[in-house]
């Protein structure tokens, strides 16, 4: 008899709870097979039973240390504490797919009217190789936005920094898209300032963090009924 499959959706903290809930609902599974939790407050009570296979869906933007090392260790330890050892199958992070590219690009194109430049700012880790998802996202956008759209990638706390990248952007207006799930520390403290932009003769428009921008763009998609299906964000191939 096939083992039961449970789906566990994990965000980093409750700042990503709205997106996590939304993504989980897109799978249209019976409620007894879908579980949710936040990495920072995860306990054994948040986990599905250990009598089957647990598919873990990390609602994270990047495949950093937390997702690739700390989360698997935490889940195994929590299950082991109750004498259970289910098979854990880890899916690619949500940021590797992000749902339909088309409706996100359409929303960004509206923001970039008037030859504005796009600056995507992602979480970086000093001394470690950058996770691939931010660069992959920019590569996807190049095929969806008008040819010649000026765009670049910078990192919080890693190279290249916003201070390094900003002067080289072509547009006088720079639209900043934080490659983040929700409004955490980076949104509160690390966004580029108007003063920094002014020193280089530029103005800034900072968009909501990517998770919130995605939800906003999807709502607009359903209003218009145009474009491609939004999907659930985990449609991309496994990496």
Domain span holding position 55: 5-91
For residues 207 and 107, membership in a common domain is answered with: yes
Which of the pair, 217 or 101, is modelled with greater confidence?
Answer: 217
Residues 111 and 186 in one domain: yes
Look at residue 238 and tell me if it is in a domain: no
Query: Is residue 236 in some structural domain?
Result: no
Higher pLDDT, 224 or 216: 216
The domain boundary, picked from 48, 70, 91, lies at 91
Domain end call among 91, 124, 156: 91
Q: Please tell me whether residues 138 and 74 are part of one structural domain.
A: no
pLDDT tens string 12-62:
999 899 999 999 988 766 666 899 999 999 999 999 999 999 999 999 999
Q: Identify the bridge partners of residue 118 per DSSP, sorted by sequence position.
A: 151, 175
- Does a structural domain hold residue 239? no
* Angstrom distances, CA of residue 81 to CA of 59, 74, 78, 89: 25, 11, 5, 19
Residues 208 and 185 in one domain: yes
Task: Note whether 191 and 215 are same-domain residues.
Answer: yes
pLDDT for the residue 236: 42
Q: How far apart are CA 68 and CA 71, in angstroms?
A: 7
Look up residue 121 and give its two tokens: 């700012």
Burial 58-75 (b: 16+ CB within 10 A, else e): bbbbbbbebbeeebeeeb
Domain membership of residue 213 (yes or no) is yes
Q: What integer is the mean pLDDT of 115-125?
A: 92
Residue 230 counted as domain residue: no
- Tell whether 59 and 112 lie within a shared domain: no
Domain membership of residue 184 (yes or no) is yes
pLDDT at 193: 92
CATH code of the domain containing 156: 3.40.50.1400
pTM score of the predicted model: 0.87
More confident position, 74 or 99: 74
Q: Count of domains in the chain?
A: 2
Supply the pLDDT for residue 30. 61
Q: Are 174 and 203 within 8 A, CB to CB?
A: yes
Mean pLDDT of all residues in the chain? 87
Same domain, residue pair 71 and 29: yes
Are 78 and 124 in the same domain?
no
- In-domain check, residue 49: yes
Most confident of 69-83, 121-135, 206-220: 69-83
Per-residue pLDDT tens for 183-218?
A: 877 888 889 999 999 999 999 999 999 999 989 888
Whether 83 and 105 map to the same domain: the answer is: no
Of the two residues 210 and 105, the one the predictor is more confident about is: 210
> 220 falls in which pLDDT band (50, 70, 90)?
confident
| Whether residue 107 sits in one domain with residue 86 | no
């Amino acid at each position: 008899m096939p083992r039961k499959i449970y789906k566990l959706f994990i965000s980093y903290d409750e700042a990503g709870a709205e997106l996590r809930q939304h993504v989980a609902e897109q799978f249209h599974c019976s409620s007894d097979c879908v579980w949710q939790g936040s990495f920072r407050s995860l306990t054994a009570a948040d986990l599905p039973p250990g009598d089957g296979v647990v598919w873990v869906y990390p609602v994270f933007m990047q495949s950093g240390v937390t997702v690739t090392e700390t989360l698997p260790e935490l889940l195994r330890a929590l299950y082991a504490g109750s004498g259970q050892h289910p098979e854990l199958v880890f899916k690619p992070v949500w940021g590797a797919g992000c749902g339909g590219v088309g409706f996100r690009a359409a929303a960004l194109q509206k923001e970039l009217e008037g030859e504005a430049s796009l600056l995507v700012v992602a979480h970086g880790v000093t001394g470690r190789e950058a996770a691939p998802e931010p660069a992959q996202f920019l590569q996807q956008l190049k095929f969806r936005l008008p040819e010649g759209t000026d765009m670049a990638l910078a990192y919080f706390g890693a190279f290249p920094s916003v201070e390094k990248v900003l002067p080289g952007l072509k547009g006088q207006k720079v639209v900043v898209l934080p490659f983040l799930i929700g409004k955490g520390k980076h949104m509160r403290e690390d966004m580029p300032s108007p003063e920094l932009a002014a020193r280089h003769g530029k103005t800034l428009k900072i968009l909501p963090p990517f998770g919130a921008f995605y939800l906003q763009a999807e709502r607009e998609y359903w209003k218009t009924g145009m474009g491609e299906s939004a999907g659930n964000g985990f449609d991309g191939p496994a990496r």
